Amino acid sequence: MRIGKTGQILLADIGGTNARFALSQAESSNGDPTGPIDYVKVADFPTVREAIVDVLARRSSGGQPGRAVLAVAGPVTNNRCVMTNSPWVIDGNELQAALGFDSVHVLNDFEVVAWSLPALQPADLIPLGGQNGLPGEPLLVVGPGTGFGVSCLVERHGARLAVVTEAGHATLPAENEREERVIACLRKRLGHVSIERGALSGSGLQSLYEALAEVDGAQVPHRDPAAITKAALEGTCLVSRATLDMFCAILGSVAGNLAVTFGARGGVYIAGGIVPRFPEFLAASAFRARFEAKGRFQDYLRNIPTRLVIKPDASFVGLKMFAQHNPIDQIERTKRPLAGPAIHS
C-alpha cells in the first residue's frame, strides 16, 4: 500500500561519486530547498532507487513527495541517463512507476545550473565586468570542471527553456601565435583538440601545462590540475603561472564566442568546480579583455555582464526553479497527442 502524497518535491544532484538529496515545498516561492541536504555515497547503494527509498524513509515524515526532479552529471536522453563513472542508471519513467511519484524529471546538471540563474542573488555572484544585462534576453552559463559544461536559458512570452549543448567538444580556437603553437603541440598528442580536452577542464589544464612546457623547452615536474593551480597562485612555478594565465584568457575567448552565438545579452555566468578557487586571479587576468575582443562586435560584448557563480548549492535552486516553471498539469498536457492541425480564420 502506498503512503499518502505530500506537497513536497524530491530534489537531487547526482554525480559519479556522491549524490545529494533535499525536500522542497512545492508551493514555496523561493528557490532554496527546505530542510537539510542529505549526502549519499553512490557506492553505498546498488541503484538510485534504493538510495531514494533510504532518503525518503529518513526524511519524508510519513508521506511521499508527489514529484521528483533529478540533476545528473551526464547526458540525458528520453528522461534517462546512464552514468559514466558509476553503475547507476537514472531512468525517470522507471522511478516514477516503481516509487509512485506523479512525475520524475531527469535533467543534465548544467541544464539545472542554467535554470538557477534568474534566482541567484548578488551574494551568490562575483562581478567580472560588463553592464547590467538586458531583461528577458538569454542567460548563458559555462563551466570548466571535470568537463566543460555549457547551457543557455531562453525566455520567450513567459516560457523558459534551458538549451543543453556539447559545446565543450567544439574545436579549441587560438587567438595569437603562442596559442597556435600550444594547440599544434596538443594536436600531435590528441588529434582533434577540443575546448574541453585542450584547455577548459581539469584534464585540459594539465594538457596546457604539459604543452607549454614543451613549447618553451622547460623541464617541469608532473603536476595534477590542483598542483598546477596551487603553484601558479603561490608563484613557485613560471610554467604553472603561464598555464593559468592562458587558461583564463582562453576561457574569456570561448565565453565571448558563445555569448555572440547565443545572443546572451542577459549575461554570461562562469560556474564549474575550477574557477571559484581563484576569483581574484581570474578578475585580474585577460579573461574580460579576451571576452570583449570580437572586432566589430566589441561594443556588443562590452555591454554583456560576466559573473562568477560562487553559491555552493546553485543546482538545488535550479531544480526548484524548473519544478516551479513546469507544473504537473502542464507536463501532463505535453504528453497528450495533438488533436490535429489548428485552423485559423
The 3-class secondary structure across the chain, one letter per residue, is: CCCCEEEEEEEEEECCCEEEEEEEECCCCCCCCEEEEEEEEHHHCCCHHHHHHHHHHHHCCCCEEEEEEEEECCCCECCEEECCCCCCEEEHHHHHHHHCCCEEEEEEHHHHHHHHHHHCCHHHEEECCCCCCCCCCCEEEEEECCCEEEEEEEEECCEEEEEECCHHHCECCCCCHHHHHHHHHHHHHHCCCEHHHHCCCHHHHHHHHHHHHHHHCCCCCCCCHHHHHHHHHHCCCHHHHHHHHHHHHHHHHHHHHHHHHHCCCCEEEECCCCHHHCHHHHHHCCHHHHHHCCHHHHHHHHCCCEEEECCCCHHHHHHHHHHHHCCHHHHHHHHCCCCCCCCCC
Q: Predicted confidence band at 312 (pLDDT cuts at 50, 70, 90)?
A: confident
- 292: its cell numbers: 570583449
Per-residue pLDDT tens for 117-143?
A: 999 999 999 999 998 899 999 999 999
Predicted local confidence at residue 5, as pLDDT: 63
| pLDDT of 221 higher than 90 | yes
Would the pLDDT of 185 be above 60? yes
Region 245-266: mean pLDDT is 98
The model's confidence at residue 283, banded by pLDDT at 50, 70 and 90, is very high
Question: pTM for this one?
Answer: 0.88
- 80-83, long-range: CB within 8 Å, 24+ apart, which pairs? 80/106, 81/106, 81/108, 83/14, 83/16
pLDDT, greater one: 64 or 185: 185
pLDDT band at 339 (very low <50, low <70, confident <90, very high): very low
User: How does residue 330 score in pLDDT terms, banded at 50, 70 and 90?
Assistant: very low
Is the pLDDT reported for residue 311 higher than 70? yes
pLDDT, position 68: 95
- As a whole number of angstroms, the distance between CA 129 and CA 284 comes to 11
**Is 70 exceeded by the pLDDT of residue 103?**
yes
Q: What is the pLDDT of residue 146?
A: 86
Is it the case that residue 250 has pLDDT exceeding 70? yes
Q: Which residue is listed with cell 579573461? A: 287
Q: What is the mean pLDDT of residues 102-126?
A: 95
Q: 34 pLDDT band (50/70/90 cuts)? A: low
Question: Over 60: is that where the pLDDT of 338 sits?
Answer: no
Share of the chain above pLDDT 70, in %: 89
Does residue 335 have a pLDDT over 80?
A: no
Q: How confident is the model at residue 24 (pLDDT cuts 50, 70, 90)?
A: confident
Amino acid letter, 198: G
Q: Which pLDDT score is estimated for 25? A: 74
pLDDT at 337 over 50: no
Question: Stretch 139-154: mean pLDDT, rounded?
Answer: 95
Is 305's pLDDT higher than 70?
A: yes
